Structure 1
Amino acid sequence: MTIKRTEPATDADERSMLEGFLDYHRQTLEWKCEGLDDAQLRTASVPPSELSLMGLVRHMADVERSWFRRVLADEDVAPLYYSDEDRDGEFHLTDTDTWEDAYTTWQAEIAAARTSAARFALDDASQGRNGFTEEPLTLRWIYTHMIEEYARHNGHADLLRERVDGATGE
């Protein structure tokens, strides 16, 4: 399967543009993982770092879940991979963790995020609270933050992919 990234429209309304950029970055992370096996996807960048492509995908599943379900929609859902005891659990891969499970979970969280976001206008306040400031946030803020989060981690993914098999790209 070849991942097709859809360029965000240059003439869209604000919401469509924000959603377009977020989807573009989601597709970029998927593209960076394309064609690799489980061993390659769990390859850490440079010891002692445990950062891997599979770990990034697991991290983004938790990030999608946190901002769109817990904060925006105020759903009572627990983190998927991390805990108070292991704040970086998404990066601590075991032999039983697979790309198929990580990818399926990530895609399910993206679908849930879209469902949650569809119920809100850009300026609507979240039903839940930001865990850092306890303030409600607008959907616009969450979209902007998610674009930033993916963009930063896609930079990591570029370096990880190059480390794994030499593949480079935008």
Structure 2
Amino acid sequence: MTTERIGPPLVGDERAMLRGFLDYHRATLALKCDGLSDEDLRRRSMPPSALSLLGLVRHMAEVERAWFRRTIAGEDVPLVWSPDGDYQVAYDPAGSTRSQAFAAWEAEVAHSRRIEAAAASLDVTGRNARRNVDVSLRHVMLHLIHEYARHNGHADLLREGVDGTVGA
């Protein structure tokens, strides 16, 4: 599988820029996983960390679901990997496969895109029950850009540790 990554727009309105940067970071995470086996994707960074590329993909499925479906759309859905609401479960890649993790993540990204596209503006708000605050779609998109950027830095190091690939 080869991921196509399109750079974010250089000009555009706020929504187009946010959408472009978020999609760029989503593609970057997928790109970091291209060409690796399930075993490679489950490889952990270094003790005591349990961080792995597959764990990051699973975690980002949770992040997409929590912020777009649960917060902005107000859907009453459980977490992807933990019916008990334990966000840490996603990081454990044991027994998980690329196909399972990517199917869940890609489904959540599709839901997120649908929710964002249907929103009248970036000022649409939803309730973040975990923090007990209202947040705007603008905040959610900025938060996800931040979350992906941070974890893509982790993914850079994880990928280099697996097969020496750097950059991109």
TM-score by length of 2: 0.94
Q: Which amino acid aligns with 1:69?
A: R
Secondary structure at the counterpart of residue 136 of structure 1: strand
Q: Which amino acid aligns with 1:107?
A: E
Aligned-partner Cα distance in 1 for 2:167–2:20: 20
Name 1:164's counterpart in structure 2.
162
Corresponding residue to 1:137 among 135, 148, 155? 135
Conservation of the 8 A alpha-carbon contact between 1:81 and 1:90: yes
Conservation of the 8 A alpha-carbon contact between 1:5 and 1:24: yes
CA drift at 1:5: 1.0
Query: In the alignment, does 2:53 pair up with 1:53?
Result: yes
Name 2:124's counterpart in structure 1.
124
Q: Trace 1:81-96 onto structure 2 (pairs within 5 A).
A: 81-82=81-82, 84=84, 86-95=86-95
Name 1:113's counterpart in structure 2.
112
CA drift at 1:44: 0.1
Name 1:26's counterpart in structure 2.
26
CA drift at 1:86: 4.6
CA drift at 1:82: 3.4
CA drift at 1:85: 7.7
Secondary structure at the counterpart of residue 40 of structure 1: helix
Conservation of the 8 A alpha-carbon contact between 2:42 and 2:94: no
Aligned residues: 167
- Segments ≥4 residues shifted beyond 6 Å: none
Shift in CA distance, 85/28, structure 1 to aligned 2, threshold 3 Å: closer
Instruction: Give unpaired runs (5+ residues) of structure 2.
Output: none
Conservation of the 8 A alpha-carbon contact between 2:78 and 2:85: no
**Which structure has greater strand proportion?**
2
CA drift at 1:135: 1.5
Name 1:70's counterpart in structure 2.
70
Aligned-partner Cα distance in 1 for 2:6–2:154: 21
Q: Which amino acid aligns with 1:155?
A: G
Instruction: Give unpaired runs (5+ residues) of structure 1.
Output: none
CA drift at 1:20: 0.1
Aligned-partner Cα distance in 1 for 2:44–2:80: 21
Q: Trace 1:94-109 onto structure 2 (pairs within 5 A).
A: 94-95=94-95, 97-109=96-108
Alignment root-mean-square deviation, CA: 1.4
